[in-house]
Structure 1
């Protein structure tokens, strides 16, 4: 298949006079899909038509997989629309307890300058980042590649195991992933995601997410974390697939 895509026609139809911005997650969570060049052009055109901004959450942008010339790895520097790119140490350095995030602003110069001035004012109304975090930030950013390498290696290994196990069954398949920390299992037959995930948790201590947590349009999807230590992940996958094969 061609992978995940933005339905720009449907998106355009939802824009109203109350719409002020388009919010994207790049790469998406949990699909792991990146925006493509053509999609960005369409988003920029939509923003120009309706005077909208783009807010791009890119906390997973350092965790892309594979190569794709059409992929937009980041909206930093996007000049087609006023663009706010969000990120922080939580995912980049795998430090959710260290509270430091930032916003990069780009776009047409007049819009960018006005937005920057307003952001500066807003920032002044909040408490500043903790002093220890400020002092540690430069070093944490410099050292982030070490932990990112470990995360990517574990995610790849777990994904390969999941793909290999699902290849032996007709009951489910793993959807394409371009980045991020999650894998999506699509089940061949409709079933109660909530009942399945609750039973897994209660009977086997296996925690996964039902697809409806992420607003999938129909039932039949499970979301699993690829960050789990490999031995635990493999045992969990075995139990999940066994329950699926047994008809839950």
Structure 2
């Protein structure tokens, strides 16, 4: 075989990017140069000292010790499905089908790949969690971006949706609470989304992985699936965030809406589930352990996160050329910067290399054109956040 010969990868991989991990190269370069890194790029609570509750770990360990290590049913064990059904009913969702996956990411990929063909399009929020752009690129589906309005606490700009829709539009994605902005959508906004979905026969894909991370007193998370029995909705969730178990890779999709309309689509999702056999059998036993009792741990965590959020947002808003809308949910903020002559990716790379503060560029989230942002997390302890703010301010002042 000729030494000049190269294996050419499939075209479907060319557009696949994942901004959150794609900045690792700059981080490694900074580390080699001796920089003390403050990593504020990946939303993994366990990395910042939060712990998976003991009873959830115990349930998985007991399953392992009891030799529940065979393949399970492709869509999940009955005990876990019943627990998810109970959780859904408490949220006002009437499940037609439930399937358990290797993280919510797999549930989302199954839902999209079972629905849309190459050349079809799906409506995504701008900004958006990069997983969605990666999935649609892989399956050669066109992403069309509707806007979130920064001037209105990142609420969905309803007027930006309908002009995107044509006969190839299959679904609209909402992320609520939103990653990267921390927005929590109002019932009124969700009802408008359902009106559009019903009129144009769209499936609603609702990512609710942060639904228990609500940071405002008196604010309630509303599941869009609870507001309709006419529109097909897939609701995604899992153990990673609410139950501090990202490494378990256990998630699920809840299908709701008109059963007859959904039958073939559900069958297609189940086919995809069978091709990878199953999610981890013993770890599925963590689902009933988590969902069948009150989540006490997150109630202890929320007050800490509110303090850290306020510290971060107030600090950013005190730095020249930066501004930040206060997030109402999740644990991310999406500050805007207005510095002439530097784009967001260069800003982030230089911030990493010069100050050791690792954040993610806003263009990796599909931010609105002609705007410049970065995503930053507020999971670390307050002393770490303060140190990061000092470095960010010192960096920004270099441009003034």
TM-score normalized with structure 2 length: 0.56
What displacement does 1:121 show?
A: 4.6
Q: Which of residues 231, 240, 246 in structure 1 aligns to 2:392?
A: 240
Deviation of the 1:202 alpha carbon: 1.6
2:219 matches 1:48? no
Matched, 1:74 2:226: no
| Stretch deviating more after TM superposition (182-191 or 77-86) | 182-191
2:215 is aligned to 65
Counterparts of 1:80 and 1:38 in 2: how far apart (Å)?
Answer: 17
Q: Return closer, same or farther for 1:195/1:151 CA change in 2, 3 Å cut-off.
A: farther
Aligned to 1:224: 376
- Per-residue displacement from partner, 1:129-179 (whole Å, max 9, x unpaired)? 222202333223457834423542342222221233245444322213121
> How many angstroms does 1:80 deviate by?
3.9
Contact 2:206 2:233 in 1 (8 A): yes
Task: State the Cα distance separating 1:47 from its structure 2 match.
Answer: 1.7
Counterparts in 2 of 1:92-107, with a 5 A limit?
92-107=242-257
Number of residue pairs aligned between Structure 1 and Structure 2: 247
The partner residue of 1:91 within 224, 235, 241 is: 241
Is contact 2:309-2:331 (8 Å) kept?
no
Report the CA distance between 1:94 and its aligned residue: 1.8
* Pair 1:182 & 2:182 matched: no
Separation in structure 2 between the aligned mates of residue 219 and residue 10 of structure 1, nearest angstrom: 17
| Offset, 1:74 | 1.5
After superposition, what is the alpha-carbon deviation per residue over 1:179-234, rounded to whole angstroms, capped at 9, x for unaligned?
11111222243432222221221222210112111121224322111112332222
Matched, 1:201 2:352: yes
Structure 1 residue ranges without an equivalent (≥5): none
What's the counterpart of residue 134 of structure 1? 284
Normalising by structure 1, we get a TM-score of 0.86
Secondary structure of the 2:206 match is strand
Instruction: From the CA coordinates, give the structure whose radius of gyration is larger.
Output: 2
Task: State the alpha-carbon separation in 2 of the partners of residues 48 and 114 from structure 1.
Answer: 19
Contact 2:206-2:235 within 8 A present in 1 as well: yes
Which structure has more relative contact order (CA 8 Å, sep 6+)? It is: 2
| 2:365 is equivalent to residue 214 of structure 1 | yes
Distance apart, 1:53 and its partner CA:
0.9
For 1:21 and 1:156, the matched residues in 2 are separated by 34
Q: CA RMSD in A?
A: 2.5
Separation of aligned partners in 2, 1:162 and 1:101: 30
Partners of 1:166 and 1:59 in 2: how far apart? 26
Distance verdict in 2 for CA 1:165–1:39, change over 3 Å:
closer
Cα distance change of structure 1 residues 97 and 166 upon mapping to structure 2, 3 Å threshold: closer
Q: CA deviation at 1:123?
A: 3.3
1:149 match: secondary structure: helix
| Inter-partner Cα distance in structure 2 for 1:30 and 1:126 | 30
1:110/1:63 CA distance change after superposition, 3 Å: same
Q: Which runs of 5+ in 2 are unaligned?
A: 1-150
Would you say the 8 A contact 2:320–2:396 is kept in 1?
Answer: no
| CA 1:168–1:53: 2 relative to 1, 3 Å | closer
Q: Distance in 2 between matches of 1:188 and 1:34?
A: 25
Task: Kindly state the Cα deviation for residue 235 of structure 1 after the two structures are TM-superposed.
Answer: 0.5
